[in-house]
Amino acid sequence: MKQSLKLTCILFLALLLSSCGEEKNSKSEKFFPVLSYIQSQVAHVDTSLYSIRKIIFISDTLTDTIHIPREAFRNEARDFLNIPDLMESKFQKRFTETKDFDETINRVMLTYLPVNPDKEEILRQEVLIAPDPSGDRITSIFIDKMVVTKDSSVQKKMIWLTDKSFQVTTIKQVKEQPETTSTFKVLWNEGDE
C-alpha cells in the first residue's frame, strides 16, 4: 500500500512538473528562497549544541581538520550568506527557473540559470527536493558563482547538505600564475565521513 501511494505521489509530481516543463516564470511567480533557507539553517546551528568541525583540502590533499566554535559558524558560512537573493524582483527577469524530476535519484530539481551569464555572479543554483506525502524535504543546494576582475577570476562551487554539512571549493586564476584550488568542508549533526 505504501509503495502504491509513493508511486502515485511520484507520478502526480512528475505530471505536474512536466506541465511546467521549461516554462519561464511569470511576473507573479516566485523563485525558491535559497538565501532565506540557508539563513534558517545557519540560525539553527547558531542555537544548537552540535560539535562542528572543518576539514581543509589544498589541491585535493587533506591539510587540516579543526574544531569550529559555534560562534564562528556563521563566519564559515559567509560564502552562502553573501549570495544574491534571487527572490528579489530585480532578479526575476535576469534568471530562469526550470523544474524537473529525476527518477533515478527520486528528486525534484529546481534549477536557476542567468539569462546573460557574463553579467551575473551566480552561474547556477540548484535545489534538490525529496518528494514525500508527509511533506517534501530539501536535501541539498548547489551554487556555482564566478567573480571576474581585470587580472583574476575566482570560481566557487558550493554545496549545502541540509542539516549536515556544507562545502566550498574555490578555484582561483590570477594573471600569469598557475590556477589554485582549495576546498573546505564544515560538518555538524553527522558522523565521520
115 belongs to a structural domain: yes
Residue 18 pLDDT level (bands cut at 50, 70, 90): very low
Q: Residue 30: its pLDDT value, please?
A: 84
Could you give the C-alpha distances from 9 to 84, 105, 122, in angstroms and in order? 33, 15, 33
Q: What is the pLDDT of residues 74-93, one digit of tens each?
A: 999 999 999 999 999 899 89
129 or 133: which leads in pLDDT:
129
Query: Contact, 183 vs 168, CB < 8 A?
Result: yes
Over residues 171-180, mean pLDDT: 91
Q: What percent of the chain stands above pLDDT 70?
A: 83
Angle value at C-alpha 163, between 133 and 145, nearest 5 degrees: 105
Q: Which residue has the cell 556555482?
A: 144
- pLDDT band for 109, please (50, 70, 90 cuts): very high
Within 8 A by CB and 6+ apart from 79, the residues are 156, 158, 168
What's the mean pLDDT when you consider all of the chain?
85
Residue 156 vs residue 92, higher pLDDT:
156
Question: Is residue 6 assigned to a domain?
Answer: yes
Domain count, the chain: 1
* Pure H helices in 32-150: 34-46, 73-76, 78-81, 89-92
Residue 121 has pLDDT above 80, yes or no: yes
Residue 93 domain flag: yes
Look at residue 192 and tell me if it is in a domain.
no
pTM over 0.85: no
- Considering the domain boundaries, does residue 41 fall inside one? yes
pLDDT at 68: 94
Q: Model confidence over 21-44: pLDDT tens digits? A: 444 433 436 899 999 999 999 999
Check pLDDT > 60 for residue 148.
Answer: yes
More confident residue, 17 or 35: 35
Q: What confidence score (pLDDT) does residue 145 get?
A: 95
Question: What pLDDT does 64 receive?
Answer: 87
pLDDT tops 60 at residue 12:
no
- 182 lies in some domain: yes
Where does the pLDDT of residue 16 fall: very low under 50, low under 70, confident under 90, or very high at 90 and above? very low
The answer to whether position 82 is within a domain reads yes
The residue range of the domain holding 13 is 2-187
Query: Residue 193: inside a domain, yes or no?
Result: no
